[in-house]
Structure 1
Amino acid sequence: MKKDMMVAWMEEGMLVVPQMLMANYHKLGLNETELVILLQIFSFIEEGKHFPTLEEISGRMTISSSECSDILRRLIQKQCLTIEEGYSSDHIRFESYSLKPLWHKLVDEMMLSKKEKQFEEQLKNEENLYTTFEQEFGRPLSPLECETLAMWVDQDFHDAAMIKSALREAVIAGKLNFRYIDRILFEWKKNGIKTIEQARQYGKKFHQQRVKSSEVKKSSNMVPFYNWLEQ
């Protein structure tokens, strides 16, 4: 749905297409001459001329009409351009160039690039995650600990930032071990905590309850408030 909407916006001129095409044409398998012809056709369409002649297109370039014809044929074969037929209100048949196949390819490439960027960002975050843990533990992680970290990310779908936040909670509590951190992540997930700010507020509330419970114990020897993070 999002892809179709973007293509529609391109068709209607609501998106700045030339810049997007200039940045991505080589990823679509286009060379510079093919790019310029497509931009010329785009320009003609913007001017209201939907089926410029070979002479009109080549007249704006440094290629001949026959070269222009060959390139247009190649662009159609590459599925970057189509020729559509239609009829006017007075039933006169006409032809027009359509760049819709090109817009589809462009959107696909942009969406793929976004996914690749997100994947690279995820890998970078995970690498930083391992480094952060090793720095806090003051030693390399064991194979089992590395497997646990991978499980938190790949199976439990915990965000790297949230795992680091749970690590900080463990450091503050003086319980630097994976079992304790796993318990924190479990409790956060159970209580619908998904952001660092929510985790911070939840931790603040918990520590306040812990201090209050400790004070009550000192004054009345009552059983302290249950620490859900205790092993």
Structure 2
Amino acid sequence: MKSTIISWLQEGTITVPAILFSEYRNLNLNEYELVLLLNIMTFIEKGNQFPTPDELSSRMTVSIAECNELLRRLIQRGFIEIMDEYSHDGIRFEKYSVTPLLEKLVEQFLIKSKHVDEESKKTEETDLYTCFEKEFGRPLSPFECESLAMWMDDDHHDPIIIKAALREAVMSGKLNFRYIDRILFEWKKNGIKTIDQAKNHGRKFRNKQLQNKKASHDDSEQPPTVPFYNWLEN
């Protein structure tokens, strides 16, 4: 008895993409079709690349005729295909391929990833409009909304960078769209695409301005203040 159980356990496992279980319903597969696909994959991994409907039915709760119908539907809908192969002796034989199923799973994954990215972008854009309205203390005008959209869609500025430019304008006491547009223009011209790059760029400019101010006020007792970058005069 023990030896029989051990031999069952030694049959091993098969490799099944986890996404198949989470997405089979979205692929319009039912549970019978899913189990049939799993059995086909099991037979293939065990070396039987073209199991018969009889062999497949013996592992399921469907008749041979029903199994035949399930196979026909899966082939017709492009989940599996029957391929012709030739042995080293030139003997022709047929085998099942589940590559079409894997391709559909990849397509489903890409569709979901795109949807997640679009939702994330939509959330970022909504948050961006909220930040601007909070800083301006009022709803944005249609022209201002259009400017925001152009920065993202036409100029391809990341919402994070646009927020950084907004903060720069607030710190400089020049809260207007023309000033923010100039900041973004200068950052794009200098290849600035991240927050750290924007901070470093502003820090270098301010340090340079501070050094120039110190040089021209050596005799002054008042410590020089750190100037802000006037992007419109750059």
Match of 2:155, SS state, is coil
Aligned: 1:29 with 2:31:
no
Residues 226, 110 of structure 1: alpha-carbon distance in 2 compared, 3 angstrom cutoff: closer
Aligned letter for 2:197?
Q
Aligned letter for 2:131?
T
1:103-129 CA distances to partner (integer Å, 9 max, x unpaired)?
111111111211111111111100000
Residue correspondence of structure 1 range 10-21 to structure 2 within 5 A: 17-21=16-20
Q: Aligned residue for 1:139?
A: 138
Output the CA distance in 2 between the equivalents of 1:204 and 1:227.
10
Cα contact 2:75–2:81 (8 A) shared by 1: yes
Residues 168, 107 of structure 1: alpha-carbon distance in 2 compared, 3 angstrom cutoff: same
Offset at residue 160 of structure 1 (A): 0.5
1:23-64 CA distances to partner (integer Å, 9 max, x unpaired)?
111222211211111111111111121111112211111111
Output the CA distance in 1 between the equivalents of 2:139 and 2:209.
32
Output the CA distance in 2 between the equivalents of 1:219 and 1:144.
47
Higher gyration radius (CA): 2
Offset at residue 229 of structure 1 (A): 0.8
1:93-151 CA distances to partner (integer Å, 9 max, x unpaired)?
21100111111111111112111111111111000000111111111111111110001
Cα contact 1:18–1:39 (8 A) shared by 2: no
Residues 226, 57 of structure 1: alpha-carbon distance in 2 compared, 3 angstrom cutoff: closer
Aligned letter for 2:36?
I
- TM-score (structure 1 length as normaliser): 0.86
Return the structure number with greater helix share: 1
Aligned letter for 2:187?
W
**Unaligned segments of structure 1, at least 5 residues:** 1-15
Output the CA distance in 2 between the equivalents of 1:30 and 1:183.
54
Alpha-carbon RMSD: 2.0
Output the CA distance in 1 between the equivalents of 2:115 and 2:198.
29
**Unaligned segments of structure 2, at least 5 residues:** 1-14, 221-226
Residue correspondence of structure 1 range 56-95 to structure 2 within 5 A: 56-95=55-94
Output the CA distance in 1 between the equivalents of 2:165 and 2:229.
15
Match of 1:94, SS state, is strand
Match of 1:84, SS state, is strand
Aligned letter for 1:76?
I
User: Mean alpha-carbon deviation: is it higher for 93-102 or for 70-79?
Assistant: 93-102
Aligned letter for 2:129?
Y
Number of aligned positions between the proteins: 213
Residue correspondence of structure 1 range 1-231 to structure 2 within 5 A: 17-219=16-218, 227=229, 229-230=231-232
Q: Percent identity, please.
A: 53
Match of 1:230, SS state, is helix
- TM-score (structure 2 length as normaliser): 0.85
